[in-house]
């Protein structure tokens, strides 16, 4: 387990993932009934952007730091709840960036339940110290094993964020297979699986698994900040979303082009917002 999210917190990939996470949580909170949010690879929940790790890569400078200038009003409207979380973090922690557990707690209500899973022992301890109290559980377990043990949740509604470090070969294919298995166990859950875009062929293979065996309703969102011509580099990132909120496609069509234009590292910027579940006819 060499991956440390502190080197990458607040980069373009975090921005994309967290903006979509916020939109999904807001959708779940439209109804009064409780929802459960399960984060299978949670990290430590809050990152100091002045730390040696963050400074060493400076990735946040090409990510969250580029959001300072306002976007067009229709983009700002959708981005504002994410900006509110950033403001909350800055007010209480200074030059810091929220991880997914912080975002989940910020958008949860007293009736909602959060489960954060982190295998790294020291990170699990930090997470447990940071997020305690009613409605939160922190588990120091393997996220893949925990996922299947935790679903279906007692609340019918909820989401699962699967955000592995991609240190093992074949992890993208595994993501797709585990998402299919999890959706079969919890057919009403919303599943968000994050992936890096290095080799587009590996992404297409994972999408094929989900298309063949996943639910009718699925969405593939991608943000490209470099041309997909160098598989050794993180050229972009994506989210496979099973059972997406019905408003998410429309929202992503407003958000992603604006984020791509703002976060591009070269002259190449791109995005994808594609329903791809079984009910969608090919071609």
Ligand X SMILES: C[S@@+](CC[C@H](N)C(=O)[O-])C[C@H]1O[C@@H](n2cnc3c(N)ncnc32)[C@H](O)[C@@H]1O
Where in the sequence numbering do the catalytic residues fall? 163
C-beta of 14: minimal distance to ligand X in Å?
Answer: 6
Distance of CA 263 to the CA centre of its chain: 17
* 20 touches 65 (CB < 8 A): no
Which of these ranges, 1-9, 130-138, 147-155, 267-275, lies near ligand X under the rule CB under 6 A? 1-9
In terms of Cβ atoms closer than 10 Å to its own Cβ (0-12, 13-18, 19+), residue 239 is buried
Give the separation between CA 217 and CA 173, rounded to whole angstroms: 19
C-beta of 21: minimal distance to ligand X in Å?
Answer: 8
Decide whether 15 or 217 has the Cβ nearer to ligand X.
15
Does residue 120 interact with ligand X by CB under 6 A?
yes
- Residue of the chain from 24, 100, 114, 243 that contacts ligand X (CB under 6 A): 100
Residues 24-63: x where in contact with ligand X by CB under 6 A, - otherwise, as a string: ---------------x-xxx--------------------
* 62 touches 263 (CB < 8 A): yes
C-beta of 191: minimal distance to ligand X in Å?
Answer: 14
* 189 touches 153 (CB < 8 A): yes
Does residue 3 interact with ligand X by CB under 6 A?
yes
Distance of CA 59 to the CA centre of its chain: 17
Residues 121-140: x where in contact with ligand X by CB under 6 A, - otherwise, as a string: --x-----------------
Which of these ranges, 88-96, 111-119, 177-185, 260-268, lies near ligand X under the rule CB under 6 A? 111-119
DSSP code for 188: T
Neighbours of 230 (CB within 10 A): 11
C-beta of 32: minimal distance to ligand X in Å?
Answer: 27
- Residue of the chain from 89, 113, 119, 259 that contacts ligand X (CB under 6 A): 119
- Residue of the chain from 49, 117, 202, 224 that contacts ligand X (CB under 6 A): 117
Does residue 23 interact with ligand X by CB under 6 A?
no
Give alpha helix (H) positions in 95-222: 100-106, 121-130, 143-150, 171-185, 200-213
CA distances from 94 to 48, 50, 100, 163, 175 (A): 8, 9, 18, 26, 35
Give the separation between CA 42 and CA 108, rounded to whole angstroms: 16
Residue 37: strand, helix, or coil = strand
Residues binding ligand X: what is the number (CB under 6 A)?
19
Decide whether 99 or 277 has the Cβ nearer to ligand X.
99
Footprint of ligand X (CB under 6 A) = 1, 3, 5, 17, 39, 41-43, 99-100, 117-120, 123, 142-143, 163, 165
């Amino acid at each position: 387990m060499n991956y440390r999210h502190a080197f990458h917190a607040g980069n373009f990939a975090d921005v994309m993932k967290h903006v979509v996470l916020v939109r999904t949580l807001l959708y779940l909170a439209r109804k009064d009934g409780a929802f459960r949010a399960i984060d299978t690879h949670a990290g430590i929940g809050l990152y100091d952007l002045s730390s040696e790790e963050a400074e060493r890569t400076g990735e946040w400078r090409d990510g969250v730091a580029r959001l300072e200038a306002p976007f067009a009003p229709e983009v700002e409207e959708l981005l504002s709840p994410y900006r509110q979380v950033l403001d909350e973090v800055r007010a209480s922690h200074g030059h810091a960036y929220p991880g997914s557990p912080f975002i989940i707690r910020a958008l949860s209500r007293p009736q909602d339940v959060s489960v954060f899973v982190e295998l790294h022992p020291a990170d699990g301890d930090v997470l447990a110290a940071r997020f305690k109290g009613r409605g939160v559980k922190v588990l120091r377990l393997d996220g893949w094993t925990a996922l299947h043990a935790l679903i279906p949740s007692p609340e019918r509604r909820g989401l699962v964020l699967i955000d592995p470090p991609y240190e093992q070969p074949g992890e993208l294919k595994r993501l797709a297979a585990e998402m299919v298995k999890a959706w079969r166990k919890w057919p009403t859950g919303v599943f968000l699986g994050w992936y890096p875009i290095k080799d587009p062929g590996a992404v297409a293979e994972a999408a094929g698994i989900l298309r063949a065996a996943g639910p009718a309703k699925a969405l593939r969102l991608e943000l490209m900040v470099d041309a997909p011509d160098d598989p050794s580099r993180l050229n972009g990132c994506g989210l496979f979303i099973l059972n997406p909120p019905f408003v998410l496609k429309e929202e992503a069509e407003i958000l992603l082009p604006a984020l791509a234009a703002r976060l591009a590292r070269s002259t190449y910027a791109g995005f994808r917002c594609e329903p791809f579940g079984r009910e969608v006819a090919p071609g």
